A and B are shown apart, each in its own frame.
Chain A
Amino acid sequence: MAWVIFGFLSLLCAGSVVAMVLSKNQAHNALFLVLSFASLGGIFGLLDAPFVAAAQVIIYAGAIMVLFLFAIMMINLKEGLPPERKRVIYGISAVLGCVLFAELLIVARRAFFHGAEAAPAGGANPAGLGHLLFTDYLYPFELTSLLLVAALVGALTLAGKKGSS
């Protein structure tokens, strides 16, 4: 049963990314990406990470992709879409993609089968995650808030109405 769900979700996820590569419409690209991220949230659920799955659906498929859609609407391209690349380039890049896939597979084999010892189960529930976040990872957590403020100020400065430098 789990294999069926995993196969379905992973096919959906990878297939919508492939559709994003092949499609020419930017809004369709964003919607394909929403589908891909939502199914990836389901895969995170299969990995015993329900809280991360919820965050994935809410933050990625919700917030970030809505931001992309807003940008697409604001840009509203009529003639600015670039021309398509030649088919030869698609063939070459498919070959190079297979090479990259093989390389990463070799690296992952090595990493996976050497580092996978069964440690005692940590707190994968939201309570355990919160405890980790506020004890061991307190400084990174605070730095994250600083990063968010910096991103906010930077975006306001860049895209503001009177953003004269």
Chain B
Amino acid sequence: MIPGSAFLVLAIVLFVLGVLAFFLKRDLLTQFMSVEVMLNAGNLAFLALAKASSKAEAQVIVFFILTVAAAEAVVGMAIVLHFFKQRKCIRTEDVSGLKG
């Protein structure tokens, strides 16, 4: 029987890795992928706490997170494609146009 805290620790590890990947990578697509990793860490934390307190509501919330992640991925992809059409590259440094 695995305690729920083991799952929670795994969720924290995944979240930290996602944050690190977001700040270490420089292309927009990979940064998007690391946002997905962070969302998944949140899902795992919800499910671990759901099992620890044996409530099914958290699983419903995980479904909502899945839906929001799908919508976010669609809109984000559209923005990345639009950006690529204009600039011909997806370097994050090039998006700092508004920075003085």
Contacts and interface: CB of A to CB of B under 8 A. Distances in A.
A-B complex is real = yes
Interface of A: 2-3, 6, 10, 13-14, 17-18, 20-21, 26, 29-30, 33, 36-37, 40, 43-44, 46-49, 51-52, 55-56, 59-60, 63-64, 67-68, 70-72, 74-75, 77, 79-83, 85, 89-90, 93-94, 97, 100-101, 104-105, 108-109, 111-112, 115-124, 128-129, 132-133, 136-137, 140, 144, 147-148, 150-152, 154-155, 158-159, 163
A109 B81 CA distance: 42
A72 B19 CA distance: 22
A101 B29 CA distance: 25
A105 B74 CA distance: 32
19 contacts: A14-B17, A20-B37, A21-B24, A40-B44, A49-B51, A64-B36, A64-B73, A74-B81, A82-B27, A94-B20, A97-B17, A108-B5, A109-B5, A112-B8, A124-B54, A129-B63, A132-B60, A133-B63, A155-B75
A92 B41 CA distance: 23
A104 B57 contact: no
A5 to B, nearest CB: 9
A104 B15 contact: yes
Q: Majority SS of interface residues in chain A?
A: helix
B14 A144 contact: no
Interface of B: 1-2, 4-10, 12-21, 23-27, 29-30, 32-34, 36-37, 40, 43-45, 47-57, 59-60, 62-64, 66-75, 77-82, 84, 88-93
Q: Which 3 A-B pairs have the closest CB atoms?
A: A80-B89, A122-B56, A151-B71
Given A49-B47, A104-B15, A120 B6 contact: no
Contacts of B77: 67-68, 70-71, 155, 159
- Interface residues of B, dominant DSSP: helix
Nearest to A122: B56
Contact of B7 (A3, A47, A151, A155): A47
Contacts of B52: 112, 115-116
Contacts of A101: 12-13, 16
B5 A112 contact: yes
